[in-house]
Chains A and B, each alone.
Chain A
Amino acid sequence: MEEKIPLEFKNVSFSYSTSPEPILKNINLKIHKGEFVGIVARTGSGKSTLLGMMAGVIPHHFSGDLEGEIRLYGQETRDLSLSKFSIHTGLVLQDPDSQLFNLLVRDEVVWGLENRGILRAEMATRFDEVMHFFNIGPLKDRITYDLSGGEKQRVVISSVYVNKPSILLLDNPTSQLDPLGSEYVIQSIKQVLETHETVVMVEDKIDELLSHADRLILLHEGEILLDTTPNDFFRHTELLKRVGITPPSIMDLSLRLQSAGVNLPTIPLTLEDALPLYRGLMNGSTNIASTPPATPVKRATSALMTDSSLAVAVREVNFYYPPPQVVHALKNINLEIERSSFVAIIGQNGSGKTTLARCMAGYLQPTQGQVAVGGRNVYTIDIYERARRIGYVFQNPETQLFRMSVYDEVMFTLQYQGIKGAEAEERVHEILQFLDLWDQAHLHPFRLSTGDKQRLAIACIAVLRPDALIIDEPTTGQDPAHAWVIMQLLEQLREHYEITVIVITHAMTLAANFCDRIIALCQGEVILDDTPREIFAQPETLAKTFVKPPSITQLALSLGLNPPPLNVDEAEKMFKERLL
């Protein structure tokens, strides 16, 4: 008897009831048993909608105009309810907090089994199996909202997996996680892949899973443009460039070198694949001399907090979170941030990045020490002046939107500064034009896309033209292309308004390409403070932050190339000099 195909789409198109434009157009797709399929797409291309259809979310939870056929093991999905769908499929969403409903981890993991009427003995067995499989036994009695992001998402994956779905669907499970959290989740997914279950995943950080993927699907503006193996997928360079998809940097470099005449027998997908290949190439090359590592620059500290030539000065700052759990969150921090610089603050969750940023912005008063912005003590100036001197954009743009239109939202900021009339209108117009939001000035802020909300949140602060602007994780939840655009906008803000930009980020590729300085925190202390190139040249120290340099940089460092390249262009030049 012919085995039924787990998922099959025939001529499927869909538009939400709130919009006449179809979000998916003429999708024809088969997912076979045991396949690992990756979906690659820009934000807004319909990938979450496609995944939602695979889970039965559409049409059973979100309504709209659905054409064509979607079959789950041969059955038309319109004939199945969401509950019956969920017997076969398990869906993991981006935000772990929205998927944890119980207080304790152990209750969370078995909750789905309770709903399905699984007997207690069987529940206990499955619970033990899944705790062991994902190695989350130590978390079982923890409170769910106290877990880190990575721990939460692992608990979610466990809670979905315990139901033994035959198809596991993952919608950008690491997009909102820090590097260590992402690492935990990637490891969990790799364990699932080892069991050869059917897995479909949308993930911007798909690099680490490429070697496991059977197929990659390119979705663009609701249509499937490519459906092929990973190796073949990234050879369609022109198409990928047109739709704004950047290949993994290792692969991009290899394709460029191959085109230039370097004898690469295969195109590696990942760093692990690339290392032996490139070692072989370098061993056969006569031009392998590398420059000695540069001595890290020791920054001199100014004695004067009143030095107005500095954007931000932090002197001997210590911060303790109050009892009952006293935490020494910042330890003897001394920093001087020059005007018009672009600085990244990196570090694992709990390293003190946000605490430091909030101390710099004046929202938290250090237990000891001082912070000055433009030569003025940030705690003695009033709230209005502080907002003009140092701006802060929080991670979630939706917590910073208070008005009914984009225009009013930006104007809202100016009213507290006493800026009115023609001057206010001119400023609002200028900043919205600058950030490419003027055409959407009449829209309600919550109707904007995630990227546009982020831009609006930046606009609301930048309209004050502060001396310094702190932005917390501006690229979380965004695809690489959108993330790049946000960083470019910040760079343009810096150049145009001479604003000092300080970003808290985990995105090392972006920090490498835009920032002229990186400050790395670990357990409340500054362990590295230098240019990106110097920082990445110290991988042992950087490893304490659980942040990894860009893959290209890691490749070069592993091959003994120092100073390492920060991006594919630099790497291409470097390798060409040595290999050709």
Chain B
Amino acid sequence: MPAIYSYSAYKTWFHRLDARSKLTFVFCYLLLAFLLPTPIVIAGISWPTPFLLFVLMIFLVWWGVRVNPRTYMPFLLYLAPIILGLMFAHTFMLNECPCLNESTPVLRSMSVAGFLFGTAVAFRLGAMAICFLFFSYTTDPFEWGLSMYKAGIPYKGAFMFASAMRFYPLLQEEFITIQDALKARGSDLLVKWYNPVRLMWGVLTTAIPMGLGGLRRSRNIALSMELRGFSFPEETGVQRQLFRDIQLRPADYIIIGVWVAIVIIVALLRLTGIWSAGPLVLG
């Protein structure tokens, strides 16, 4: 089972795409979350556009990448209070009529516009999170690093970034062990996750073993890398060779072209006023 934000190594069409085309898709998708009018009215029902994009991305990850939402359910559970918090904060803070209901003072202070705005903000955040899940599940960190290197980022920077993703599952495992170690002491700091104060205190408590353990590990990793010649090209002037190379294929060019075009078109539609920020009625 792939850990959250780690490569899933399945063999889907999306896995075979180049990292650059996927990254372009992700950025375009997120731009659309801001550019597209909201809400979208379909068959008379108003749907906040970012909410639709959020759900669509979950579906894409499930159907196209073969990663069931149950795999990253803990992540969604942590995201839920943030989303709900943003929604309700704007519902109360944005004092625009009409309100949700006139019957009680509480409902009178909740504005429809605030609710819709809050929902849009919250689900843009959600869509961003799921988008990056899609990217990380489908992209070999090595290829990601290679893409950055080919894009002009110095090898060391590109490789270190990709290498960090390789260690993410280990950090997740370590966090779970530390969580159990706290339970072994009789501590409920990371057990009562619904209590944000205790949860925050629990996270801070884990900072010492995770931080110091991470420092020790990173020191050993740096040493191992140097022992296998990480700085050899810079020191000797010998050109680094790559065993595996990546090339953009026709499918990648199409993905990049199509999504950039969509963003440009939507941007133009918004800039020229053909599409307003308000409801977009479809059908």
Contact = CB atoms under 8 A, between A and B. Distances in A.
A387 B170 contact: no
Contacts of A361: 184
Given A398-B216, A413-B185, A86 B229 contact: yes
A284 interface: no
B229 to A, nearest CB: 4
Contacts of A124: 243
A388 B184 CA distance: 9
Contacts of A392: 180-181, 184
B77 interface: no
Interface string B213-234: 1001100110111111111110
Interface in B173-198: 174, 177-178, 180-188, 191
Contacts of B231: 81-83
Contact of A413 (B186, B242, B243): B186
Contact of B177 (A55, A386, A396, A461): A396
A297 interface: no
Given A143-B9, A392-B184, A101 B232 contact: no
A117 B7 contact: no
B171 to A, nearest CB: 11
Contacts of B71: 324
B166 interface: yes
Interface string A332-364: 000000000000000000000000001001010
Interface stretch (A89-97, A233-241, A504-512, A564-572): A89-97
A93 B224 contact: yes
A115 B7 CA distance: 24
A114 interface: yes
A117 B229 CA distance: 10
B27 interface: no
Contacts of B228: 86, 111-112, 115, 159-160, 163
B238 interface: yes
Contact of B229 (A95, A101, A115, A412): A115
Interface in A91-123: 91, 93, 95, 97-104, 106-107, 110-120, 123
Interface in B53-83: 68, 70-71
A403 interface: yes
Interface string A361-389: 10100000000000000000001101110
Given A86-B229, A107-B142, A403 B223 contact: no
Interface string A54-96: 0101000100000000000000000001111010001101010
B209 A402 contact: yes
B241 A120 contact: yes
A531 interface: no
Given A103-B140, A111-B228, A398-B213, A116 B181 contact: no
Contacts of B221: 98-99, 101
A145 interface: yes
A322 B68 CA distance: 12
A51 B181 CA distance: 34
A249 B70 CA distance: 52
Nearest to B228: A112
Given A112-B229, A403-B208, A417-B186, A99 B241 contact: no
A55 B229 CA distance: 12
B211 to A, nearest CB: 10
Contacts of B223: 57, 61, 93
B45 interface: no
B48 interface: no
B43 interface: no
Interface in A135-160: 143-145, 159-160
Report, as a range, how many residues of chain B touch the other chain. Answer: 35 or more
B243 A383 contact: no
A323 B68 contact: yes
Contacts of B224: 93, 98-99, 101
Contact of B235 (A81, A118, A396): A81
A42 B32 CA distance: 63
A106 B140 CA distance: 13
A116 B234 CA distance: 10
A115 B233 contact: yes
Nearest to B163: A101
B1 A324 contact: yes
B140 A394 contact: no
B184 A83 contact: no
B166 A145 contact: yes
A83 B177 contact: no
Report, as a range, how many residues of chain A touch the other chain. Answer: 35 or more
A130 interface: no
Contacts of A81: 231, 235
B104 interface: no
Interface in B118-143: 140-142
A416 interface: yes
B181 A399 contact: yes
Contacts of B239: 117
Contacts of A413: 185-186
A98 B220 contact: yes
B230 A399 contact: no
B225 A101 contact: yes
A413 B185 CA distance: 5
B75 to A, nearest CB: 16
A113 B221 CA distance: 18
Contacts of A520: none
A112 B229 CA distance: 6
A401 interface: yes
Given A103-B140, A383-B186, A403-B208, A82 B226 contact: yes
Contacts of A399: 174, 177-178, 181, 209, 213
A385 to B, nearest CB: 8
A321 B97 CA distance: 52
A391 interface: yes
A93 B142 CA distance: 23
A249 B51 CA distance: 69
B166 A102 contact: yes
A401 B209 contact: yes
A46 B209 CA distance: 26
Contacts of B140: 103-104
B184 A391 contact: yes
A387 B7 contact: no
B282 interface: no
Contacts of A104: 140, 142
B212 interface: yes
Given A396-B177, A399-B213, A401-B208, 16 more contacts: A86-B232, A101-B163, A102-B142, A103-B7, A107-B142, A115-B230, A117-B239, A117-B241, A322-B1, A322-B70, A363-B183, A387-B184, A398-B213, A400-B178, A402-B208, A461-B185
12 contacts: A90-B227, A95-B220, A99-B224, A101-B225, A117-B239, A117-B240, A124-B243, A127-B243, A323-B1, A387-B183, A391-B184, A402-B182
Which 8 A-B pairs have CB atoms at the shortest separation, nearest pair first? Answer: A387-B186, A115-B229, A98-B220, A117-B238, A112-B228, A416-B186, A400-B181, A83-B232
